[in-house]
Amino acid sequence: MNHSELLKKAETDLFPIFSDIDAKVKQNLKNVLQAYYDQRVGVHHFASVSGYGHDDLGRETLDRVFAQIVGAEQAAVRVQIVSGTHAIACALYGILRPGDELLAVAGAPYDTLEEVIGLRGQRQGSLADFNINYRELALTPTGQIDWEGLATAVWPQTRMVLIQRSCGYSWRSSLSVEEIGRIVALVKKQNPDTICFVDNCYGEFIETQEPTAVGADLMAGSLIKNPGGTIVTAGGYLAGKAEWVEQACCRLTAPGIGSEGGATFDQHRLLFQGLFLAPQMVGEAIKSTHLLAYVFDRLGYEVNPDPFSPRRDVIQAIKLGSPEKLIAVCRAIQRISPVGAYLDPVPATMPGYETPVVMAGGTFIDGSTAELSADGPLREPYTVFCQGGTHWSHTALVLESILETLTALAD
């Protein structure tokens, strides 16, 4: 089967799945529109204030809109949050105190959290520097949550449980909202006061509920991922119980200021518009993951998730098996990107990462993973992690480039 035939068959076989995705997009968009209606969003909310950012009507309304959409008591959507890692760090530093324990229940966290926790680096003000202890519940040999171990994992000093929804740079399955709800129930059964905190990066709008709707106390994420709808230029969010959102905001700004400060620099329209676009953009990204999985699976590569499994985030992992293929695939993606297509990605050290990483990111928003991008650490088994996609037809064109590149590499 030649390349064009393979891509055509992929589109035909995946059509029923694409229809199901469209149904979820419609439901999520309905939820967004209801929140905009209930909170009476109007053009006057696009205006911004300067200086301290006090009494910012647009920011306060956006917070209420976001909280309603995700089923949370309170939310803080802020351009001052520079990344998902920053949003997560605000939650960790805002709530945890010396002597507390942070328990990660989904295996090792994403690489960029290692220095925040204190697993790497020295004297940077990590959690370890403040005598906040860290423990990790290992995954099962098959890469799943250790449900039996989790049933007795919460100790008296366990102040917070970290639930990383997405797989990160691992081969485990990402978590569904139902599984997150099950984790929360098990934790609360052992200690109702232990805070269940979800790293929700890459997971927003995948399903028709978010972790805060199934009992999570707090969650955090980035606006240049799913909820920014590919057009928000920067920022992140915190959402959950009002008490914990406010404590995290006190770390973002300062005690006594919390969520009440921070000018939005005339970004309100983009924030509202990006959130409106988010369900559709996430739907296209999910279709892209199915398409990538289908093609690479047919080529004999190991993929996670498989082509026909329900999605739990916008990440598609593909084991390529060699550094040459990892670099070649990223270059092929870059070549069919709208921005910087003339560039050749090369492995490089990145802030927060332990090993060199090769990245393809010809995106309009620098670093956006809501737009089609890919990256992978230069370590065995040389897995590429593809994410995002503004429309699946772009991913189909990228796959043509990838197939040509892999064929030339084999020759």
What is the token pair recorded at 405? 């590149």
Q: Rounded to an integer, what distance in angstroms lies between the CA atom of residue 42 and that of residue 21?
A: 30
- pLDDT bucket at 224, cuts 50 / 70 / 90: very high
User: pLDDT digit string (tens) for 287-338?
Assistant: 999 999 999 999 999 999 999 999 999 999 999 999 999 999 999 999 999 9
Does residue 352 carry a pLDDT above 80? no
Rg (C-alpha) for the chain, rounded Å, is 21
What is the token pair recorded at 13? 């076989």
CATH topology of domain 3-27+276-410: Aspartate Aminotransferase, domain 1 (3.90.1150)
Does residue 351 carry a pLDDT above 80? no
Q: Name the pairing type of β-strands 133-136 and 383-387.
A: unpaired
User: pLDDT digit string (tens) for 138-195?
Assistant: 999 988 999 999 999 999 999 999 999 999 888 899 999 999 999 999 999 999 999 9
Q: Rounded to an integer, what distance in angstroms lies between the CA atom of residue 248 and that of residue 239?
A: 10
Count other C-beta atoms under 10 Å from residue 118's C-beta: 18
Whole-Å CA distances, 57 to 6, 141, 261, 269: 52, 51, 12, 13
- What mean pLDDT is reported for the chain? 96
Residue type, 75: A
**CATH for 47-266, options being 3.40.640.10, 3.40.1160.10, 1.10.150.120, 3.40.50.2020:** 3.40.640.10
How high is the pLDDT of residue 314? 97
pTM of the model as a whole:
0.95
Domain ranges within the chain, ordered by starting residue: 3-27+276-410, 47-266
